[in-house]
Structure 1
Amino acid sequence: MRHDYPIQAVSFTKVQLADNFWLPRLKTNHDVTIPASFQRCEATQRVKNFEMAAARTGKFATIFPFDDTDIYKTIEGASYSLQLYPDEKLAAYIDALIAKVGKAQEPDGYLYTARTIDPAHPHPWAGPERWVNEREMSHELYNAGHLYEAAVAHYEATGQKSLLTIALKNADLVCAVFGPGKRHVAPGHEIVEMGLVKLYRVTGKPEYLSTAKFFIEERGQYKGYDPKSPDVFKNGAYWQDDQPVYAQTEAKGHAVRAEYLYSAMADVAALTGDQRMLAAVDTIWHNMVGKKMYVQGGTGAVPGGERFGANYELPNTTAYNETCASVANVYWNQRMFLLHGDSKYVDVLEKILYNGLISGVGLDGKSFFYSNAMQIKSSAGFPQTEPARAGWFDCSCCPTNLARLMPALPGYVYAQKDRDVYANLFISGTTDLTVAQKAVRITQQHNYPWQGELKFTVSPAVATNFNLLVRLPGWARNEALPLGLYQFATPSNQKISIRVNGQSVAYATRNGYAVLARKWRKNDVVEVALPLEVRQVVAHANVQDNLGKVALQRGPVMYCAEWKDNGGRASNIIVPAATRFATAYQPNVLNGIMQLTATVPVVQVDAANSTVSTTRQTMTAIPYYAWANRGKGEMTVWFPQQLTDVDLISRKAPESTVSK
Structure 2
Amino acid sequence: MRKNICLLLAVCCSFSAFAQKQQDYPIQPVPFTSVKLADHFWNSRIETNRTATIPASFTRCESTGRVKNFQMAAARSGKFCTTYPFDDTDIYKTIEGASYSLAVHPDKQLDHYLDSIITIVGKAQEPDGYLYTARTIDPIHPQAWAGPERWVNEQNMSHELYNAGHMYEAAAAHFMATGKRNFLNIALKNADLLVRTFGPGKRTVAPGHEIVEMGLVRLYRISGKKEYLDLAKFFIDARGHKEYNKKSKNPFENGVYWQDDTPVTNQDEAEGHAVRAMYLYSGMTDVAALTGDKEYIAAIDKIWDNMVSQKLYVQGSIGAVGDGERFGGNYELPNTTAYNETCAAIGNVFWNQRMFLLHGDSKYIDLLEKTLYNGLISGVGLDGKSFFYTNAMQIRDSFTHPDIERERSGWFTCSCCPTNIVRLIPSIPGYMYAQNGKDVYVNLFISGSANLKVAEKELKITQQNNYPWDGGLVFNIDPASAMDMNLKIRIPGWAQDKAIPSDLYSYEKPSAQKIEIKVNGKAVDYQMDHGYAVISKKWKKNDRVELTLPMDVQRVIANEKLADDNGKIAIQRGPIMYCAEWKDNAGKPSSFIIPKDVVFTPSYNADLLNGVITLKADVKSVNVDEANQNVSTVTSTLTAIPYYSWANRGKGEMTVWFPEQVKYVDLLSK
Q: Does 1:33 align with 2:53?
A: yes
Q: Which residue of 1 aligns with 2:312?
A: 293
Residue type matched to 1:589 in 2? Answer: L
Q: Which amino acid aligns with 1:500?
A: V
Q: Cα 1:601–1:649, aligned 2, differ >3 Å: closer, same or farther?
A: farther
In the alignment, does 2:624 pair up with 1:617?
no
Q: Which residue of 2 aligns with 1:375?
A: 394
Match of 1:344 among 363, 377, 381: 363
* TM-score normalised by L of structure 1: 0.97
Q: Are 2:542 and 1:523 aligned? A: yes
Matched, 1:354 2:366: no
Q: More deviation in 399-408 or 495-504?
A: 495-504
Partner of 2:277: 258
Contact 1:480–1:487 (CA under 8 A) maintained in structure 2: yes
CA distance in 2, matches of 1:456, 1:263: 31
Report the AA paired with residue 172 of structure 1: D
- In the other structure, the counterpart of 1:569 is 588
Whether 2:196 is the aligned partner of 1:196: answer: no
- Pair 1:457 & 2:476 matched: yes
SS in 2 for 1:318: coil
Q: How far apart are 1:123 and its partner, in Å?
A: 0.8
Query: Hey, what does 1:242 align to over in structure 2?
Result: 261
Deviation at 1:388, TM superposition (A): 1.2
Give the 3 Å change call, closer, same or farther, for CA 251–630 of structure 1 in structure 2: same
Q: CA, structure 1 residues 461+185, in 2 after alignment: closer, same or farther (shift >3 Å)? A: same
Distance 1:111 1:597, change over 3 A: same
- Asked whether the 8 Å contact 2:379–2:387 carries over to 1, the reply is yes
C-alpha separation in 2, matches of 1:12 and 1:639:
39
Matched AA of 1:316: N
- The 8 Å contact of residues 70 and 121 in structure 2, kept in 1 or not, is answered as yes
Q: Hey, what's the Cα distance between the residues in 2 that align with 1:398 and 1:217?
A: 28
2:494 paired residue number: 475
Instruction: Look up the equivalent residue of 2:272 and give its one-letter code.
Output: G
Q: Please state if 1:604 is matched with 2:599.
A: no
Q: Residues of 1 paired with 2:94 and 2:55: CA distance?
A: 9
Give the C-alpha shift of residue 360 in structure 1. 0.2
User: Is 1:222–2:254 an aligned residue pair?
Assistant: no
Structure 1, residues 388-410: CA drift from partner, whole Å, max 9, x if none? 10000000000000000000111
Counterpart AA for 1:217: D
Instruction: Choose which of 121, 125, 131 in structure 1 pairs with 2:141.
Output: 121
Structure 2 partner of 1:413: 432
- Conserved 8 A contact 2:168-2:216: yes
Deviation for aligned residue 1:386: 6.0
SS of alignment partner, residue 478 of structure 2: strand
Cα distance in 1 for residues equivalent to 2:401 and 2:61: 37
Deviation at residue 140 of structure 1 after TM alignment: 0.2
Separation (CA, whole Å) in 2 of partners of 1:440 and 1:381: 54
Q: Does 1:80 find its partner at 2:77?
A: no
Alignment-derived partner of residue 153 in structure 1: 173
Q: Which amino acid is the alignment partner of residue 103 of structure 2?
A: Q
Which residue pairs with 1:656 in the alignment? none
Instruction: Using the TM superposition, give the Cα deviation of residue 645 of structure 1 relative to its aligned residue in structure 2, in angstroms.
Output: 2.5
Asked if the contact 2:155/2:208 (under 8 Å) is kept, the reply is: yes
One of 85, 92, 103 as aligned partner of 1:65: 85
SS at match of 1:422: strand
Alpha-carbon distance in structure 2 between the residues aligned to 1:84 and 1:428? 17
User: Are the aligned partners of 1:426 and 1:448 in contact in 2 as well (CA < 8 Å)?
Assistant: yes
The 3 A distance-change label for structure 1 pair 386 and 563 is farther
Structure 2: how far apart are the matches of 1:210 and 1:607?
68
From 578, 590, 614, the equivalent of 2:597 is: 578
The residue that corresponds to 2:345 in the other structure is 326
- Number of the residue aligned with 1:532: 551
Q: Which amino acid aligns with 2:412?
A: F
Q: How many angstroms apart in 1 are the aligned matches of 2:399 and 2:198?
A: 57
CA distance in 2, matches of 1:325, 1:308: 10
Single out whichever of 383-392 and 545-554 deviates more from structure 2: 383-392
Query: How far off its partner does 1:48 sit?
Result: 0.6
489 and 37 in structure 1: CA distance in 2 versus 1, 3 angstrom threshold: same
Greater mean deviation of Cα atoms: 418-427 or 494-503:
494-503
Aligned to 1:594: 613
The answer to whether the 8 Å contact 1:572/1:649 transfers is: no
1:112 to 129, 132, 150: 132
> Aligned partners of 1:537 and 1:650: how far apart in 2?
31
Task: Trace 1:493-508 onto structure 2 (pairs within 5 A).
Answer: 493-508=512-527
Letter in 1 for 2:284: M
Would you say how many aligned residue pairs link Structure 1 and Structure 2? 650
* Structure 2 contact 392–405 (Cα < 8 Å) conserved: no
* C-alpha distance in structure 2 between counterparts of 1:81 and 1:2, whole Å: 30
- For residue 16 of structure 2, what is the aligned residue in structure 1? none
For residues 320 and 278 of structure 1, the distance between their equivalents in structure 2, rounded to whole angstroms, comes to: 29
**For residue 159 of structure 2, what is the aligned residue in structure 1?**
139
Indicate whether 1:433 and 2:462 are aligned.
no
How far, CA to CA, are the matches of 1:23 and 1:189 in structure 2?
33
1:82 counterpart SS class: helix
Q: Which residue is equivalent to 2:121?
A: 101
Which residue of structure 2 aligns with residue 544 of structure 1? 563
Q: Deviations over 1:131-168 (max 9, x none)?
A: 00000010000000000000111111112111111111
Contact kept in structure 2, 1:6 and 1:339, CA below 8 Å: yes
**Change beyond 3 A, Cα 1:617–1:199:** same
**Counterpart for residue 169 of structure 1:** 189
* Structure 1 segments unaligned to the other structure (5+ residues): 652-660
Which AA in structure 2 matches 1:69? T
Contact 2:69-2:81 at 8 Å conserved across structures: yes
Task: Quote the Cα distance in structure 2 between the aligned partners of 1:260 and 1:92.
Answer: 31
Partner of 1:657: none
- What amino acid is aligned across from residue 77 of structure 2 in structure 1? T
Contact 1:292–1:299, Cα closer than 8 Å, also in 2: yes
Which SS does the other structure have where 2:593 is aligned? coil
CA contact (8 A) 1:193 1:215 kept: yes
Judged with a 3 Å threshold, the aligned counterparts in structure 2 of structure 1 residues 384 and 460 are, in CA distance, closer, same or farther, namely: closer
Q: Provide the secondary structure at the position in 1 that maps to 2:350.
A: helix
Whether the 8 Å CA contact 1:377–1:383 is kept in 2: the answer is no
The alpha carbon displacement at 1:17 in A equals: 1.2
Task: Work out whether residues 596 and 622 of structure 1, in 8 Å CA contact, stay in contact via their aligned partners in 2.
Answer: yes
CA offsets, 1:255-301, max 9 Å, x none? 00001000011111110000000000000000001100000000000
Name the SS for the 2:506 alignment partner.
strand
The question of whether the paired residues in 1 share the 8 Å contact of 2:147 and 2:153 is answered with yes
Q: Could you tell me how far apart the structure 2 residues matched to 1:331 and 1:390 are?
A: 25
Alpha-carbon distance in structure 2 between the residues aligned to 1:459 and 1:540: 45
Check 1:435–1:378 CA distance in 2 against 1; reply closer, same or farther (3 A cut): same
Select between 642-651 and 185-194 the one with higher mean Cα deviation.
642-651
Measure, in 2, the Cα distance between the counterparts of 1:272 and 1:530. 39
Indicate yes or no: 2:406 matched with 1:387. Answer: yes
Give the structure-2-normalised TM-score: 0.96
Q: Counterparts of 1:443 and 1:50 in 2: how far apart (Å)?
A: 45
- Does structure 2 conserve the Cα–Cα contact (< 8 Å) formed by 1:9 and 1:412? yes
Q: 1:511 to 1:51 in 2, by over 3 A?
A: same
Name which of 441, 448, 465 aligns with 1:422: 441
2:43 corresponds to which residue? 23
Match of 1:209 among 221, 224, 229: 229
Q: Is the 8 A contact 2:439 2:488 kept in 1?
A: yes
Residue 385 of structure 1 and its aligned partner are, at CA, apart by 7.7
Shift of 1:83: 2.3
Structure 1 counterpart SS, 2:215: helix
Alpha-carbon distance, 1:607 to partner: 2.8
1:274 paired residue number: 293
52, 62, 72: which is aligned to 1:52? 72
Letter aligned with residue 572 of structure 1: S
Check conservation: 1:605, 1:650, Cα contact below 8 A: no
